[in-house]
Structure 1
Amino acid sequence: MVVRLGGYARISLDKNGEELGVERQRRDYRQVAGVRPGWEVARDYVDNDVSAFKRNVVRPEFERLLVDLQSRVIDGVIAYDLDRLARQPRDLERLIDVFEERPELVFCTVTNDIDLSTSDGRTMARVMVAFANKSSADTGRRVARKHRELADAGKNGGGFPPFGWKEDRVTIDPDQAALITKAHDDLLAGTRLSTIVTEWQAKNVQTSRNTGKPITRVAVKGILKNPRLAGFRAVKHQKHIGADGKPVMGIWEPICTPEKLDAVIAVLEGVRTQYTTSNQSNNHKYLLSGILRCAECGTRMLANMRSSWKEGSKGSRFFYRCPAVSDGGCGKVSRAGEPIDRHVINLIHDAEAKLKAPKSEAAEWSGAVRLAEVTQEISELIAAMNTKRISATTAIAMLEPLERERDELEYERNKHTVEKIKATAATVDLSEEFERLPIERQRAVILKHVRAIVVHSAGRGARKFNPDLLDVVWAA
């Protein structure tokens, strides 16, 4: 009689993704099964780089193993060691429940001789998993304490090298830093995060894990928000605050300023969206949607592709129109889109050329001194609370108004930073760069100069484009 076993292999950490640890386990338990008469490893269940101790981690192959045992797909389990299968008592109990339902099941490990079909074997398994759980918990506390010491000293922790730095985690990687800097500037100039993700994917940008798969939106967002970009030591993606109440600075070279990083985070998180006006939406597919206004009723005009247009045909591919009465407009004005786009681009080109004349530096933000004072007061209160010089109740009561003022000042600073960067990042050589910009950046360049463009009706019948039928409302 053939006994079909499910072989289970797991390792908690596989930095390089080479699966060498789980492969050793597979080789060992297959060798043991090979010397037992009638035993056959019918399927391998492998959870590589997956913890069995962390409560919030789901092990897909362990779950599949339990299902296959219950549905009689396999006749038992073989693993290198019991702690590969379970380090949480609740996981062991789920496995024991299956063996109690099917006493004929086989259980074997390379390192121990435990029989889950017997009461003594189950008791021994519970004791072993309890000790394994305690060992993991003790290790976790030691590791957490060590990481805290490293964080307090501003030193690097473990794991993969962060994006933007070389293997030593101190020296900047110039290529990756350039990507980050450009992405920051693009975001502050109006580019969508999805556009940046697409650009990075086209360049096959990889994190230090180098999975070979396209980089994800979550990964790019995490990279661009990383506090260490501005020199801060981070713990769980947040600035680490030292005993003195101040953010701990790291020993590595920063890639950007704290002010710029705060502005980028505000844009990515959508904080206080007053940074942009309603007609600066990033969801438009056409250059002047929402910027053009109907001269008859003042409603923002939208764009539509011509249903009859085909590749190679004459005329504009799309048109701008005032919405119908049912959609809030009058529906009386409709104009070919491409001639208007070309005309407006030429107008903006002339306006951009004037910006190239030497200009004085933008005024510095006026609230910098007060923000520094408030930040220092907050740090002193936290330090006093940490050293028990004042009670936590007193400290929190004093902190709340200061934190509100700090948040308001930081918002104003971020707004100033965004506007300052927009003034330079949105300035381009239209003859060379404009066509290569994403649509949201093109609109940002236009909205820097124009508040709206009023479109008058051209009358009935086919007519040549007449720029006199456009009234440009220039920005102050």
Structure 2
Amino acid sequence: MGIVVGGYARISDVGELGDGRDGEEGVTRQKDDVHDLVKGRELILHRMYVDNDLSAFKRRVVRPDFQDLVNDLDTAVISGVAAYNIDRITRQPRELEQLIDIYATARRPMVFATTAGDYDLSTDDGRFNARLYVMIANKFSADAARRVARQKKAEAVQGKPHRGQRPFGWRSGGVETEPFEAELIRKAQRDILNGKLLSEVHAEWVELGVVSPQTPAGKPMSFTSVGYIVTNPRLCGYRAYVPQQERERRGRVDPAEFLLERTDGTPIIGSWEPICTPDEWRAVRDVLKARKTDGRGRKKGSTVTKRMLTNIARCGECGRGMFSAIYTRGTVSYEKYVFFYLCRKPEGGCGGVSRSGPPVEEHVECVLLAHLANLAKDSRPGKAEDDPELIKARAELAQVEADMVEARQLREAGEFPLGEFVREIKRLEGKRDELSVKVAGLNAMGPQTGASAAERIIREWKTYTAPMKRAVIQRFIEAVVIKKQPRGGNHAFRPDLIEIFWKK
């Protein structure tokens, strides 16, 4: 009875050819060769193990059927391998050594057959020949990878688009935008600049069933992929080139780290339709960067730790910012309102004021929308101008930067003690970063009349999430003061005990 073997067929990187081929023809030819080999050697074929479009040279590539082949060899399900050539099985010496260990310790007849000849991995000569061939194949792949990398970088410097799978937002070829996906990206960027969380954008896309060409079949788009898409420099036309060794070492990387520049320092612009402007791209990146964990396990702007009026609402007795808390489950208040705002003693407050949350929020929303309606009505139609809030933020940023320059000059002159200088610079840097994000977000919205901004907010208000509403409230309202409820009598919501202070 013949030895039971596993047949193996593989073709790598067909996705990079960009000519529509899927590698099936090459795999089919290899499978035919394996069947002829098995039949001629009177072996018994257990099954064909096939890894299509997977490299045997790149270290990070996982080949599922190759792993199954190794496991079946190790557990004696099969007693050998049959392939077109040894370089179809592996081009990595470390993988060959794994096979050699199995063959060297097996206590049964084993075979390693290829159309170019057999390798007896139980003998020194057989192992030497296999190692020599795999080392040559590895060197050939490394040389080919180097040539391909040089070609890809040359194309990148010329501004040509990436080959292979189309990027999300563009049609096949990566030059013309795909209208639906491009508008999804633009809307996501606008929403993020208006306060929406990236997690909310991700949930929205998943609900719509949006997937990218890189999303595995049957899987929803991942949160990481959404972040990668909306911050990719390709969106504004910038060309990046990530060396293959960096991809293999780090996996998915931020292409903004690898932007290509001309000798004069200007970015290389790709030959494809952009989806947004460079200012919009930078603004989205800056906003998302500012929301990252601040070192205390809390994300800025997250609804997990902040409701719509947290710290915007102020205690009418002591003036401290108010926080939210949940009513005791099962109580009437919990069933009706769920949460309330309160002045907390542990946070330095007096602890004397609290109010059910939803009625306060609804009242503030109504007053805000009425205020915006008046702004839209009173604003004169005419030439679009920069938002007054943007002008103010720019002035504040310029002042902070001037203060930093002055602090450094005083330090160099010996008039600023080191300890005080370090504390002051740290404070100014935090303020500068905060204002930079604010300026970037407002600037990306573009010049507009006061009426157009107010009308847009009113028109889109119902689609805003809590973080987006919070961002608008912070833009127009300085504080919402909640006054103490009188003792006794009817405790129905009283709007006269809520005072709103508008930003000037």
* Normalised TM-score (structure 2): 0.74
Report the equivalent of 1:252: 272
Q: Offset at 1:466?
A: 0.4
Distance 1:84 1:344 in 2: 68
> Contact 1:343–1:467 at 8 Å: present in 2 too?
yes
Partner of 2:10, secondary structure, is: strand
Distance 1:294 1:49, change over 3 A: farther
**Gap regions ≥5 residues in structure 2:** 243-254, 399-430
**1:200-219 maps to which residues of 2 (within 5 A)?**
200-209=205-214, 211-212=216-217, 213-219=219-225
Report the equivalent of 1:287: 308
Q: 1:301 is aligned with what amino acid?
A: F
> Contact 2:237–2:270 at 8 Å: present in 1 too?
yes
Residue 304 (structure 1) aligned with residue 308 (structure 2): no
Distance 1:296 1:346 in 2: 24
Distance 2:214 2:239 in 1: 21
Report the equivalent of 1:374: none
Distance 1:22 1:468, change over 3 A: farther
Residue 435 (structure 1) aligned with residue 462 (structure 2): yes
> Contact 1:351–1:449 at 8 Å: present in 2 too?
no
Q: More deviation in 429-438 or 74-83? A: 429-438
Distance 1:459 1:17 in 2: 78
Distance 2:139 2:439 in 1: 52
Q: Offset at 1:430?
A: 6.7
> Contact 2:342–2:355 at 8 Å: present in 1 too?
no
Distance 1:335 1:196, change over 3 A: same
Report the equivalent of 1:351: 371
Residue 361 (structure 1) aligned with residue 381 (structure 2): no
Report the equivalent of 2:6: 6
Residue 235 (structure 1) aligned with residue 238 (structure 2): no
**1:118-129 maps to which residues of 2 (within 5 A)?**
118-129=123-134
Residue 69 (structure 1) aligned with residue 96 (structure 2): no
Partner of 1:265, secondary structure, is: helix
Q: Offset at 1:268?
A: 2.6
Distance 1:442 1:132 in 2: 60
Report the equivalent of 1:376: none
> Contact 1:240–1:247 at 8 Å: present in 2 too?
yes
What are the superposed Cα offsets for residues 350-385 of structure 1, whole Å, 9 maximum, x if unpaired? 122134234741179889xx9xxxxxxxxxxxxxxx
Distance 1:266 1:464, change over 3 A: same
Identity fraction in percent: 38
**1:13-52 maps to which residues of 2 (within 5 A)?**
13-15=13-15, 20=24, 22=27, 25-26=30-31, 28-30=33-35, 32-33=37-38, 36-37=41-42, 39-41=44-46, 44-52=48-56
Distance 1:305 1:13, change over 3 A: farther
Q: Choose from 417, 424, 440 the match for 1:417.
A: 440
**Gap regions ≥5 residues in structure 1:** 371-407
**Structure 1 vs Structure 2 CA RMSD:** 3.7
Q: Offset at 1:426?
A: 7.7
Residue 95 (structure 1) aligned with residue 118 (structure 2): no
Q: Choose from 450, 455, 458 the match for 2:485.
A: 458
Q: Offset at 1:271?
A: 8.2
Distance 1:315 1:91, change over 3 A: closer
Distance 1:450 1:89 in 2: 66
Q: Choose from 105, 110, 115 the match for 2:110.
A: 105
Size of the alignment, in residue pairs? 431
What are the superposed Cα offsets for residues 236-260 of structure 1, whole Å, 9 maximum, x if unpaired? 2232123444321122222221122
Q: 1:419 is aligned with what amino acid?
A: L
* Normalised TM-score (structure 1): 0.78
> Contact 2:323–2:344 at 8 Å: present in 1 too?
no
Partner of 1:451, secondary structure, is: strand
Q: Offset at 1:121?
A: 2.4
